[in-house]
A and B are shown apart, each in its own frame.
Chain A
Amino acid sequence: MEEKKQNNRIMEVKDITLRFGGVTAIEGVSFDILEGEVRAIIGPNGAGKSSMLNVINGFYHPQQGEVWFNGQKRGAMKPYQIAYQGIARTFQNIALFKGMSTLDNIMTGRFTHMKSGMISQVFWKGKAEKEEYENREAVEKVIDFLEIQTIRKTEVGKLPYGLQKRVELGRALAAEPKLLLLDEPMAGMNVEEKEDMSRFILDVNEEFGTTVALIEHDMGVVMDIADRVVVMDYGKNIGDGTPKEIVSNQKVVDAYLGVSHD
């Protein structure tokens, strides 16, 4: 316990193994995420990176291993309970509420902060009313921060891809998470959009001190924004360190260039 306090580990996965039937998606992977850092998870397609994120936010339950959050071992929890613990995320294939406006999408991100009861909501009196206005303010701040004021009322299904990604980030930010998980936040973006997104991620990290764990394929981006990198290949952890250490790691280079496994 003392050791954890010193290092300020916000998240630690220990010896995680995840199988789907006969397929092993993750095999004995361990790593930690320190409070306040940007941690990247990289690796070739099918390496088990998204599965790892799904383990962290509770969509998948590993057959083996432990997940420690805030210095406490986590028992079996449902994804929505994990959201209440302060873990928010975005998805590889954008998962927005397509029929709802940008504003409403980001408002759902405030769900864990709204505590009013059903009766109060039905009659829109007391707590529910007050809460709507308070959380609306928090949402407007996120909208300003991400510079998406002009699309506030637009149905998100009608927005271009890059903006949808930004709204999805906004929904996760609105939760004011302790740990923010981003699954390929820059996939399919052009250079300019990638630069914008990198800037937002760094700003979130620096200004609000939010811990970020992200999966990314673009090595240039990873080099620029990550403090530490963990590399996965075939469901295993094959490298862990600063971006500099990673690029000089022979195992990692082999995995990316496709050298055969012995």
Chain B
Amino acid sequence: MFFLDPFFYEILISGLLAGVMYALVALGFVLIFKASGIFNFAQGVLALFAALTLVGFQTGQIPFAHLLSLFGLHATHWGAGFPTIVALLFSLGVMVLLAWLIVQIVLKPLVNQEGIILFMATIGLAYVLEGVGDLMWGANVKELNIGLPEGPSEIILDATDMFIDKLEISAAIVAIVLVVSLTLFSQYTKMGRALRAVADDHQAALSVGISLETIWWIVWSVSGLVALVAGVMWGAKSGVQFSLSLIALKALPVLMLGGFTSIPGAIVGGLIIGVGEKLFEFYIGPLIGGATENWFAYMLALLFLLFRPQGLFGEKIIERV
């Protein structure tokens, strides 16, 4: 039987850990969608941009070095760079600043527009950010090392014969801490309540003194933080390069499963897809020629669209007549 197979558990666990990473990306989408009804196409690029910025600060790169070289300044690095923790804080600062710019330049002029128009605006934003990221930090593939343990965990290997990457374990821990703190923040603070209030009713939120602009800034900043964490984790795993922004595509099926408005949904959806695609690849893959990981998530999402379009936890779509 398959559940006696030690491989089954190894695959299950590595699927869960991969799922956490998917959930992390999906979380960024859900936060913005809940608060402003915007599907933020740029979430993946935000993760890429955050990771690029972190590497830049860490390695002491001079931003826009290529542009500066046009004016005869040929230095590319100003020194050895900042320690990881300082670089992380600075990167977070950049993401908060970026959130403010996005609200002022993109969202404010488009207030009260249709969702599809805002969606188009985020597509534009994605391309602009991608370009700015390249221009600031260069387009080459970069290695990201923030000092997290890597390689197989010996303790687990000795005890159970299972091969689990330490990096994935740390990623899962970081993701759990992040989700728990976000939940606590939204439950027990003034701004957290304001975030939930804006998600429910804009007019009522305004009438009690909540400024939508401030809330949007906070939401995009938090999404920037989530993007930074996702970018760091994925970047540490497979290098910081353009393809990092494509992890956003992996978040789509997660959202279809979990629903666009549910944070627990994003997490459970991520786990189901992570585990599902690993198990499917291992047990069914060989029968149909393999490489199923590329499409399994999308097939699952399609099934959900057919039978449960609001997702597992999304708000039920009820049309009032």
Contact = CB atoms under 8 A, between A and B. Distances in A.
Interface string B200-218: 1101111111111000001
B207 A79 contact: yes
A107 B192 CA distance: 11
Contacts of A98: 200-201
Interface in A73-113: 78-80, 83-84, 88-89, 91, 95-100, 104, 107-109, 111-112
B204 to A, nearest CB: 4
A95 B201 contact: yes
Contacts of B209: 80, 83-84, 111-112, 175
Contacts of B212: 80
Contacts of B207: 57, 79, 83, 88-89, 91, 95, 172
Contacts of B210: 80, 108, 111
A170 to B, nearest CB: 12
Interface in B209-260: 209-212, 218
Contact of B197 (A59, A91, A100): A100
Interface stretch (A17-25, A115-123, A200-208): A115-123
Contacts of A100: 193, 196-197, 200
Nearest to A115: B190
Contacts of B3: none
B206 A108 contact: no
Contacts of B188: 124, 132
Contacts of A59: 203, 206
Contact of A111 (B190, B196, B199, B200): B190
B191 A171 contact: no
Contacts, number: 88
A131 interface: yes
Nearest to A181: B207
B194 to A, nearest CB: 6
Is the interface on chain A under 10, 10 to 19, 20 to 34, or 35 or more residues?
Answer: 20 to 34
Contact of B194 (A79, A84, A108, A128): A108
B189 interface: yes
Interface in B160-211: 184-185, 188-194, 196-197, 199-201, 203-211
A169 to B, nearest CB: 13
A118 B191 contact: yes
Interface in A41-63: 57, 59
A132 to B, nearest CB: 7
B217 to A, nearest CB: 10
Contact of A108 (B185, B197, B211): B197
A69 B190 CA distance: 28
A114 interface: yes
A91 B196 CA distance: 19
A96 B205 CA distance: 9
A29 to B, nearest CB: 22
A229 B196 CA distance: 37
B195 to A, nearest CB: 11
A99 B201 CA distance: 10
Nearest to B202: A95
Contact of B185 (A109, A111, A116, A122): A122
15 contacts: A83-B206, A91-B203, A95-B203, A95-B207, A96-B200, A96-B201, A100-B193, A104-B196, A108-B194, A108-B208, A111-B194, A111-B209, A118-B218, A128-B189, A132-B190
Interface of B: 184-185, 188-194, 196-197, 199-201, 203-212, 218
User: Shortest 10 CB-CB distances between A and B: which pairs?
Assistant: A83-B209, A95-B204, A97-B200, A112-B209, A79-B206, A121-B189, A114-B190, A80-B211, A111-B209, A97-B197
